[in-house]
Amino acid sequence: MIGQQIVNGVTLGSVYAMVAVALTLSIGVLNFLNFSIPGLFMIGGMTLWALLDAGIPWPFAVVGALVMAVAASLMVERFTWRWLRGAPHFVPLVSSMAFLLLFEHIAIAYWGSDMRVVPEAFSGGDWRIAGLVIGIPQLMGLLCSIALVAGLSWLLASTRTGRALRTIAEDPDTALLLGVDINRVVSVVFIVAGLFTALAGILFAINYRQVHPFMGEAVGLKGISAMIIGGMGNIWGSIVGGLIIGTTEVFAISYFGADFVDLAVFGLLLAILILRPTGLFRGMQPVRFGI
Amino acid sequence: MSGYFEGVLVLLAINVVFAYGAYLPLAAGQLNLGIAGFAAVGAYGSAYLSDTFAIHPILAIPIGAMFAGLIALLVAVPVLRTRGIYLALATFAVGQIVRAAILNLEFLGGAAGYPVSAFVGLPVVLGFALAVIVVVMVLFATRFGIALRAVQDDERVADLMGVEVRGFQMAAFILGAAVAGIGGGLYAHHFSYIEAQYFNIGLSISIVLYVLLGGTQTAWGPLIGATVFTLLPELLRGSASLRYVVFAAGVIVLMALRPQGLLTRATIQRLFDWRNPPIPGVPMASGRGQ
């Protein structure tokens, strides 16, 4: 029974982890808490449902949802980071919050606020190993997130773009002086945010088979918690944080009931913020979030 | 007065109170994303008092606000140790914890919500809102306001000049929470029913947006922001979600064109202080134009 709980926790945690990676990259490189990410998560899940509902086959629906979320993310980039550089530090944060509201309510205007059911992706695809039930979508989700994060950390460590991103994280002005094309390179952060978050939304839709316009909020908030627990700006830390939050949630549900989950998760978050604000692992940049 | 007009006025008054609750810490450079949590404490606290002990709402609402201030005092010491984005996230966590705690408290109705039998009408709501506005305005005309403004402009310089930065930040945070608690109490007693789900992060975000849209440089900002963005959507016919779309698009455009908010010190000076107009391109010193 505990084994199964861990499997379920890891499944949920891998969704949180992907959202947390998108958040942490944005914080680490741009020092920008991108509140539109829960909206991108919802766009991924709901576009998938809408395309499937229109009779479009699975692979195309998945690609369509990803493209939609990346396009939305690039729109966020235009109006937050790019336009507002040099503005007071909370301004991009505020604009990204407005984007979250915008995305959610456009979705309601288009699709209504009902819960929608996503059709089953793989019929009869459960593996039973030593009494544990592991769904293929669950396994796929975990593998996907590990592969993507490995890809991202390779990108950051060994490519020209990655080096440019790390320079921007260190000091944007110096990066500009050294000839980094900031606008082009920063787009990568937003493309990654759209891609990772939408994929998390798609996995969520496949695993739990339901989507609705506010689906991003709860997951986004837990993604933020996962990011902080893992240390802001630390990509692998986010994965660990996501898995911790996911398993905490699953165990809290089974031992104390569903109403207790938020208390446990956000209590953990507050405790970490007070006792060890840098999180479990060191981030990409030295802490420079002073006002 | 038609019922619709009365409803809009009540909403406006409560939003203005909430906005001042978020404004006080923002004026000291702190983003409080847990404002809905403190509003919830005020709402549930005052509703419990007026329901269980039959205390008149006009008395119960300020006591509920004191509960909110007390909770803020308890969390202020550890939470205000963090800064910038960490502070925003810590307050966010506090707001979520309050909401989650209410969901788990049986005597407050848990997830089923809490019906409130005592009722306050439009005059009381407007009276409280007016009192909050006057108190904040007066407060910002005193040494307190000048000190907060100094802290907002530059914490380090304010500290060097002998301003007790942490003390003022704590006072602003606690006072803001109490004001938000008043808003929550008014909401509970006017609408006769409260549920924990109402006091979610979306509410906190909307309140903070009102303030930032109005501008944090002067104490008029929250009033202007809350008024414009409560009334503007009402002018639009159509569904609630369409109003939100317009609100959000408005925020994005306004932040892009005028990140300091609708109302700034320079605007006020330009409008009302014609003998001493601001010089274009020269940043204004805090003390000017008083």
For chain B, say whether A221 makes contact (Cβ under 8 Å). yes
Q: What angle do CA B252, B91, A192 make, to 5 degrees?
A: 50
Secondary structure letter of residue A231 according to DSSP: -
Nearest neighbour of B212 by CB, restricted to A94, A104, A263: A94
CATH dotted code for A2-116+131-275: 1.10.3470
B13-53 pLDDT tens trace: 999 999 999 999 988 888 888 999 999 999 999 999 998 89
Q: In chain B, which residues have their Cβ closer than 8 Å to the Cβ of A79? A: 252, 255-256
ipTM over 0.90: no
Structure tokens at A159: 């490519």
Query: How large is the average pLDDT for residues A91-120?
Result: 87
Q: Residue A116: in which H helix or E strand, if any? A: strand A116-117
Task: Kindly indicate the confidence band of residue B290, based on its pLDDT and cuts at 50, 70 and 90.
Answer: very low
Please report, for chain B, the start and end positions of each structural domain, with discontinuous segments joined by +: 3-200
Q: Are strands A116-117 and A126-129 parallel, antiparallel or unpaired?
A: unpaired
B157-197 pLDDT tens trace: 888 888 888 889 899 999 999 999 999 999 999 998 998 88
Task: Please classify residue A66 by burial: count the beta carbons closer than 10 Å to its beta carbon, then call 0-12 exposed, 13-18 middle and 19+ buried.
Answer: buried
Structure tokens at A86: 């040099």
Residue A15 has pLDDT above 80, yes or no: yes
The confidence score (pLDDT) of residue B286 equals 44
Query: How large is the average pLDDT for residues A104-124?
Result: 82
Q: Which residues are within 8 A (CB) of A273 and not within 5 positions of it... i.e. 6 or more apart? A: A228, B79, B82, B86, B89, B90, B93
B243-289 pLDDT tens trace: 888 888 888 888 888 877 777 777 777 777 766 666 666 555 444 33
Residue B2 has pLDDT above 80, yes or no: no
User: Do B209 and A98 contact (CB within 8 A), yes or no?
Assistant: yes
Q: Do A289 and B86 touch (CB under 8 A)?
A: yes
The confidence score (pLDDT) of residue B284 equals 53
pTM score:
0.84
User: Is domain B3-200 classified as CATH 1.10.3470.10?
Assistant: yes
The confidence score (pLDDT) of residue A288 equals 37
A150-183 pLDDT tens trace: 898 888 888 888 888 888 888 888 888 888 888 8
Q: How far apart are CA A258 and CA B151, in angstroms?
A: 42
Q: What angle do CA A93, A94, A97 make, to 5 degrees?
A: 90
Nearest neighbour of B259 by CB, restricted to A87, A228, A269: A87
| Rounded (10°) angle between helices A37-53 and A215-230 | 140
Task: Kindly indicate the confidence band of residue A193, based on its pLDDT and cuts at 50, 70 and 90.
Answer: very high
Structure tokens at A290: 């002073």
Strand partners of residue B193: B115
The confidence score (pLDDT) of residue B205 equals 87
Q: How far apart are CA A152 and CA A140, in angstroms?
A: 18
Q: Do A109 and B239 touch (CB under 8 A)?
A: yes
Please report, for chain A, the start and end positions of each structural domain, with discontinuous segments joined by +: 2-116+131-275
Backbone phi and psi for residue B142, each to the nearest 5 degrees, phi listed first: -100, -175
**Counting one residue from A and one from B, how many pairs have CB atoms under 8 Å apart?**
140
The terminus-to-terminus CA distance of chain B in angstroms comes to: 39
